[in-house]
Chain A
Amino acid sequence: MRSVFLLQLQRLRREPALVIWMMVMTVGFIFMLGGLGSASTIDVPLYFDASMDEEEQDVLLYQLNESDAFSFSLIEEQDAEKRVALGEIPYAIHATAENYEMLIAADDANHVFIDQYVRQVYVDELRLQQVEQSTEDPRIREEIDQNLSDVPLRLASETVDGEEQGGGIDQRNQALFGMTLFFSIYTIIQSLSKVAEEKRTGTWNRMILSPVRKWQVYLGHLCYAFLIGFLQIVIIFAGFKYLFGYGVGDSFGSIVLAVACYTFAIVALGMLMLGLVKTLEQLNAVVPIVAVSMAMIGGAYWPIELVSNSIILAISKVLPITYAMEALKQIASNNHDFTALAQPLSILLLFGVVCMGIGINLMERKM
């Protein structure tokens, strides 16, 4: 079994193009969908209405820049209008004391988050002003500020409803988790398809004729496919967490655990597919269909929360990617409720065991 496993690694070292390509694609798509740079630096150009005095401007700019997710910088009004019109910058904000306007060049995924955030800042400020006026206590603002910066409260507001504060964190994680899980399906099944390839070229028969047991050969291949898929996902998650500051949660260990369960489920799904197809060509034709539809339905392309169609939701309940997304999002939200995590993970394992059993049986029947 070890020889079979090591041999596959040796073969990968000779021809690593496909795995590398899948990782490049993953990273590319995450950047495209999740945005470049770290979560704290979505740059937003801003200019003030002439009606605002300097103090008002400073206060507002300070308030806006309190978030880690956005960085508001000043720009000249004419400049802003011209550059947005030309599409050189995607958006700019025109701020007045009580309200604001957003100039938008093209459809940019971020503007929704910026809009949401800026509105929140204005609403909060208006409320504070109302409170100030009604209580006539000059220290009320400081007190509230004090309370807001209290750790438990802020933690709660960031985690329970990340959209409001973090701005884009959800979208970034959606892209990171979704794309990584999606592309890993290709890598895993491609690695596993070496079984079919060996059966075709005859090297499989050579091993079967040797003293090595058949289950050892299978196990060698399964371990290899598992390792490649697992490493691909973990490396990408680690890279985006530690290099690009993606907020995937504090517990990387939990992520590794969830990834292991998911990888196992996909390896098993691969075995089932290998058992169902007749030729390697068929497999290559089926993999994209399965991967893409699974990613669409299971919430890897867009959040499953956006789906309301009950049929799609029902189908999503039998797809491993749904549960992996669920588990990862939970970990990312720092929700350390173990039972909440245990459920999707055990479903993944169960799915894996069932597919693996059927898959190996189907494959052996073909002999």
Chain B
Amino acid sequence: MLETTSLKKVFKKHLAVDDVSLYLDKGESVGLLGPNGAGKSTTISMISSLVKPTAGDVTWDGKSVVKQPGVIREYLGVVPQEIALYKELTAVENLKFFGRVYGLKGRALTERMESVLELVGLTERKNDLVKNYSGGMQRRINIAVALLHEPEIIIMDEPTVGIDPQSRNYILEMVQKLNREKGMTVLYTSHYMEEVERLCDRIYIMDHGKVIATGTKQELTSILSSEETIVLELDRPYPELKSELADLEEVHRVVETEKGMKLITPKNSKLLSKVFQVAERHQAQIVSVNVQIPTLEDVFLHLTGRKLRD
């Protein structure tokens, strides 16, 4: 239904998106996972016809969005990364305005407004000024506006950044409901691996403007099927430990975490005793050791040598 072929965007010599090809089938929920600056928003802007690609094409049902932006716009709902609302107005006033802009009026408009307010759970607070909303509520109304004209596909750009866990959970459940119950196609962008893992059938992992891996969650984690993750919890940070651990032959990747170190190693390697030796040499106290099955986070670490969130 939606496809991009070798999308590329250069901003004044800075390569923001490089050769991105992805597709979405009807009713699918697809995730775009990547750290800040990976090029997710730029990709989305090109898909939604707001930014012209430097090269490549976007097609909707086979028709080029680049040549004719009109072909996708009426089927598309976009939830921008920022709160794109008039904060000095109420939720209802915002909805009314954007509804009118989409040609809704009278009863139809009222009904659609009630329906999306219900969906995002803001019916009771609908006459409050948006600037008096909590961060989570602002995010929710930001989504509601994008759903007013009943789009077939919704593209969400990091819709849960900087909000409390409850609001986040609410939004995730809502997206799931839209996708599973209403059959809406979803392109969900995030730098939170858990969100994408939970919501999406398929995932594209982006870094430095490129798609570096793609597949279902199982397919992606199977990249690391022959590996395992060792999580060391230390009593305090030991920065000097990292390079020494990385020099160990069996260690593929090392990264510092909040409480210690994380290593990606081949399965069943006889590594632990060497790790203990290194720790002892630095007089580091190991609080606990955990051997885990790799997650998407680890896949990203494996592919790039960096954590998803820095």
- Taking Cβ atoms with an 8 Å cutoff, the residues of A that contact B are 3-4, 7, 10-11, 14-15, 201-203, 205-212, 367
Contact = CB atoms under 8 A, between A and B. Distances in A.
In the complex, the 5 A-B pairs of residues with the closest C-beta atoms, listed nearest first: A202-B84, A202-B80, A210-B101, A14-B88, A3-B100
B84 A201 contact: yes
Interface residues of B, number: 28
A206 B98 contact: yes
B302 to A, nearest CB: 35
Given A3-B100, A206-B145, A211 B84 contact: no
B257 to A, nearest CB: 34
Chain A binding surface SS class: helix
Given A209-B48, A209-B73, A211-B102, A7 B80 contact: no
A205 B49 CA distance: 10
B82 A201 contact: yes
Contact of A203 (B48, B73, B84): B84
A203 B142 CA distance: 10
Nearest to B149: A210
Contact of B86 (A11, A205, A208, A212): A11
A296 B101 CA distance: 43
Contacts of B30: none
B102 A11 contact: no
A9 to B, nearest CB: 12
B1 interface: no
Nearest to A197: B86
Nearest to B94: A203
A202 to B, nearest CB: 3
18 contacts: A7-B97, A10-B93, A11-B89, A14-B88, A14-B129, A201-B83, A202-B80, A202-B84, A203-B86, A206-B78, A206-B80, A209-B50, A209-B76, A210-B101, A210-B102, A210-B149, A367-B51, A367-B52
A269 B80 CA distance: 31
Given A10-B93, A206-B80, A211 B86 contact: no
Which of B48, B76, B84 gathers most chain A CB within 10 Å?
B84
A206 B141 CA distance: 14
A14 B94 CA distance: 13
Given A205-B80, A206-B101, A211-B101, 20 more contacts: A3-B101, A4-B101, A7-B97, A11-B86, A14-B88, A15-B88, A201-B85, A202-B82, A203-B86, A205-B84, A206-B78, A206-B80, A209-B48, A209-B50, A209-B78, A210-B98, A210-B101, A210-B102, A211-B74, A367-B52
A14 B89 contact: yes
A201 B82 CA distance: 7
Nearest to A8: B86
Contacts of A207: 101
B239 interface: no
B88 A11 contact: yes
B165 interface: no
B86 to A, nearest CB: 6
A197 to B, nearest CB: 10
A211 to B, nearest CB: 6
Contacts of A208: 50
Contacts of B48: 209
Contacts of A206: 78, 80, 84, 98, 101, 145
B97 A3 contact: yes
